[in-house]
Amino acid sequence: MTTGDFPSAFPGANWMDEAEQNAVLDVMKNRAPFRFYGPNEPKYALALEATARKFYGRKFALAVNSGTGALQSAMIALGIGPGDEVIVPAFFWVASVGTIVHANAIPVLCEINESFTLDPTDLERKITSRTRLIIAIHMCGAPCDMEAIMAVADARGVDVMEDCAQCNGGSFKGKKVGTFGRVGMFSLQLNKNATSGEGGLLITDDEKLYWKMNAAHDLGVPWRGAEPDSQPADYLWGTGRRMSELCAAVANVQVEKLPTIVEHMRASNRRLQEAVKDSPGVTLRKLNDPAGDTGPFLVVMLKDADAALTAADKMKAAGLTDLWRMADYGLHCYFNVPQLVNKTPLSPAGNPWSLPQNAESVCDYNKGACPQTDDLLDRSVVISVPSKLTGEQEQFMIDKIRGALS
Ligand SMILES: Cc1ncc(COP(=O)(O)O)c(C=O)c1O
């Protein structure tokens, strides 16, 4: 047996059933695949937004085509541009950094701590007079320390966007992720806790920001019902990132299922943690709030890079499939992103790094720029925890992980 025979590590997809199928069929029968108008009245994107407002507990929700689309729409609405610095953790997904570059702003890397999310102490150090936004990314299923991050951000008057792509349904101290910062974003891509294959969500309590994001996500003009707005003062440049009714129909069901999906994954993850935590030379990732972890990943820290490489190799040899030594975890690690390390310009003009407005910003993205993060990524292993494991499958994982760590 290998974990390749298990339910896949695509959490939401494992829970798809007749509910999603019926919703898609309904869109097709109704011949209403476009969210704003059609031969018959579309309803699912509106329903998804209503579900999201209720589920997360924020006043406004906007469905978009992807997590990247959500990030970009928010960045435009927040007015991020040349001369601005945006702080991101050095352990991320490339999309979060890419949208900063697309805004012609400068990504500033912040160390992570043993939670594998933003280190609030380094965050404080990284804020300058040019810092306009902090992107708090709830990485690998678990929440950032939002109390500490908001305290730093509020004291310095800097906005926070929460990137909840990897932690949908998670919380920090009883409050859902996505509800701490000025805006929260989610991805509904296949790897995520709830999925419609593609899709994204933005949530906020700020009405003005909501309308700007609405404008930015599509035409540059906000949609009010089936008509674009007619107030030229609000116009900006849009990005054509509407969600289709087909995705919305699936996503609406999946968001309703999130508590069940997360509960199942978190419970498996806890049993795995319990079983491997006393393995020699192993420390588990620090969870800022264990009750708010959504559970799709188990992260173990070892004494050094050699130990992590050996453990990862042994786990693979034993039949575990979805795991990585974290420094080899592709475009999640700043030093593995060639376009960042090389400061690949957006256009032949060299922007954003060549812009005079950005001249004062420090931007070294080579390995070594964030030594605390480098050390953590070098000596840790991340293991996927599928969302629908049986007891027998969990035991298989436990035996193989313990075997590799002994
Ligand atoms: C942390 C993080 N942010 C943003 C994204 C982008 O989402 P999408 O793939 O839906 O564009 C992802 C998705 O992989 C992610 O993991």
3-state SS string for 29-73? HHCCCCCCCCCCCCCHHHHHHHHHHHHHHCCEEEEECCHHHHHHH
Q: Is 95 in the pocket of ligand 1 (CB under 6 A)?
A: yes
Q: Are 195 and 48 in contact (CB under 8 A)?
A: no
pLDDT at position 196, please?
Answer: 98
Q: Which residue has the tokens 């298989």?
A: 396
pTM of the predicted protein model: 0.97
Q: How far is the CA of 20 from the centre of ligand 1 (A)?
A: 22
Q: Is 196 in the pocket of ligand 1 (CB under 6 A)?
A: no
Q: Is 187 in the pocket of ligand 1 (CB under 6 A)?
A: yes
Which atom of ligand 1 approaches the CA of 191 most closely? Answer: 14
Q: How would you write the pLDDT of the chain (406 residues) with one tens digit per residue?
A: 777 777 788 999 999 999 999 999 999 999 999 999 999 999 999 999 999 999 999 999 999 999 999 999 999 999 999 999 999 999 999 999 999 999 999 999 999 999 999 999 999 999 999 999 999 999 999 999 999 999 999 999 999 999 999 999 999 999 999 999 999 999 999 999 999 999 999 999 999 999 999 999 999 999 988 888 777 667 899 999 999 999 999 999 999 999 999 999 999 999 999 999 999 999 999 999 999 999 999 999 999 999 999 999 999 999 999 999 999 999 999 999 999 999 999 999 999 999 999 999 988 999 999 999 999 999 999 999 999 999 999 999 999 999 999 9
Q: Is 193 in the pocket of ligand 1 (CB under 6 A)?
A: no
Which residue's alpha carbon is at the smallest distance from atom 12 of ligand 1?
A: 165
pLDDT at position 311, please?
Answer: 97
The Cα diameter of the chain in Å comes to 67
What sign for the dihedral angle of Cα 21, 23, 25, 28?
negative
Q: Is 99 in the pocket of ligand 1 (CB under 6 A)?
A: no
Q: Is 200 in the pocket of ligand 1 (CB under 6 A)?
A: yes
Q: Is 195 in the pocket of ligand 1 (CB under 6 A)?
A: no
- The candidate with the shortest Cα–Cα distance to 185, out of 198, 171, 204, is 204
DSSP string, 328-359: GSGGGBGGG-HHHHTT--SSTT-TTTT-GGGT
What sign for the dihedral angle of Cα 288, 289, 290, 296?
negative
Q: How far is the CA of 283 from the centre of ligand 1 (A)?
A: 27
Nearest-angstrom CA–CA distance, 114 and 118: 9
